[in-house]
Each structure stands twice: as C-alpha cells, then as structure tokens.
Amino acid sequence: MARRLNLWRWAVLGLAALYFLIPMAASVLFTVDVPGEGVTFDAYTQIVSADGFLSSLLLSLELAVATIAVVLLLTVPAVVALRLSAPRLRPVVEIVCSLPLVVPPIAFVAGIVTVLKWGPDHLSRTPLFETFVAVQNPDFPVVLVIAYVVMALPFVYRALDAGLRAVDVRTLVEAARSCGASWPQALVRAVLPNLRGALLNASFLTLALVLGEFTVARLLGFEPFAVWIYDVGGSQAQMSVAVSVLSLLVTWALLLALAGAGGRDRTASSRG
C-alpha cells in the first residue's frame, strides 16, 4: 500500500518535472545548437556584450533593492502594530493591501501616466514641478519604485501575516520590555529575528516581481531588464529565446543569493 503510494508520488513528480523541464531543455537546445555549426554559445555571448545589458540589469537590481527596502519599512511596523494594538482592524488592512491584485497593471499605469501629465501642466510654476521631473529621472525612476511598492503590497502583506501568525508577538515584545528593552529595541532584537523567514519570503516575492515587471516600466518609457530583453530579442528568434533563458537563470541566481544571505545571517546572529 505504502509502496503503491510512493510510486504514485514519483510518477506525479516525474510528470511535473517533464512538464517544466522539456520546454526549458528545448529552449536551451534551440539556442546552443546552430544548424551547420554544432554547439555554440554565440547567442549568449552576443547578449552579454549587447548594448545596455549591464545597465538595464543594474537598474532592475537597484529598483528591486529600493522597492524591498521601502515596502518592508512601511509594512513591518504597520503589521506588528496592527497585531499588538488593533487586531480588529486586520480585515480592513487585508482588503486594502489586496486591492492592487484586482487593479490590472494596464489600468494602474494609465492612472500614473495621467497624473504625470497632469502634474507638470498645473504645477509648472511651483517647486513641485522639480519633484515631477526628479521622480522620472531615467537613471533611477522613483516613480517605478512607487508603483512597485504598491504592486508588491499584497504579496508582502500576506508573507508577513503568515510569519506573524507563527509567533506570539505580544509575549515576545513584553518579555523583551521586561528585560529592559525599549520599544524599537524589542522590535529589532526580539520580533524581527523571528520573522526572518517571512521577511525573506517577502523580499523574494518583491525581487521576482520587480525583475519580471514589464507593463508599467515599458508604458512609462523606462528600460529595466525585462524591457531590455524584449527590445533586444524582438529582432532575432534565437537571441530572444536565449534572452529568456538567461533572464530565468539571472532570477534564480539572485533568489539563491538572497536565500544564502538569509541563511548565513541566521547562524551569525544566533551568537549574542
């Protein structure tokens, strides 16, 4: 009986693996096997040396880091405070945080575009005009960070909420306070280390979101990694596939790096 079950599990796993791996393997094969030339990595070397590879990747990373920082700084104190002092407000906050899920990115970006157009027209004589310009600086488009923070909110909130459910925040805070910790100390020294998994999850999801985001960035006219991939791959079939394989690998590498960093920190911080 148990053996039969085990067999089933392997069968299902195998099927799932095939479902994911066959297209990927086919893609990789397609990019490295050039008819008449044998195996060659030309497609990849071309990408890496193509104009804008590094700058767009860096821009995406900067955006991701900024978004993660902003969204965590906003939500962590908020959800902890919510747990401690206003648990009845939780459903309200949950709904508000989920709103970005139901607004399609295309509508969202249309709204942003409208504001960006309207603003300068009406504020051209005020210092706010400068703000509108700065926000759209193509070297570091703050407006994208703002947009991504909103888009990441549902995922981050859910990840943190799940993490908080597993710890008794009130007792941890009170135990820390009775040991002489002030409020911020209690939060940083007693609560956050026990939310490490949740924080890591939230960062993961935000990173993946920012790296793969296309609609908003493209329609606002910026060129982070995803947009660059689209632009460079559009002209040549083999290159466009190579580019998507590469973007997959880059995302994986970054997620692994983040996980590694989180894991190492854990052992490092357990020493007082």
Q: Which residues bind another protein (CB under 8 A)?
A: 167-168, 171-172, 174-182, 185-186, 189-190, 193-194, 196, 266, 269-272
User: With respect to another protein, which residue has the nearer C-beta, 34 or 192?
Assistant: 192
Residue 182 parent element (H or E)? none
Minimum distance from residue 272 beta carbon to another protein (Å): 4
Minimum distance from residue 175 beta carbon to another protein (Å): 4
User: With respect to another protein, which residue has the nearer C-beta, 191 or 243?
Assistant: 191
**How far from chain centre, in Å, is Cα 253?**
14
User: With respect to another protein, which residue has the nearer C-beta, 34 or 181?
Assistant: 181
Residues 58, 157, 199, 59, Cα dihedral to 10°: 0
> How many residues can be counted in the chain?
272
Task: Assign 38 to helix, strand or coil.
Answer: strand
DSSP 258: H
Minimum distance from residue 180 beta carbon to another protein (Å): 4
Minimum distance from residue 70 beta carbon to another protein (Å): 25
Task: Assign 126 to helix, strand or coil.
Answer: coil
Minimum distance from residue 156 beta carbon to another protein (Å): 21
User: With respect to another protein, which residue has the nearer C-beta, 196 or 218?
Assistant: 196
User: With respect to another protein, which residue has the nearer C-beta, 159 or 173?
Assistant: 173
Task: Give dist(CA 71, CA 76) in Å, integer.
Answer: 8
Task: Give dist(CA 93, CA 84) in Å, integer.
Answer: 14
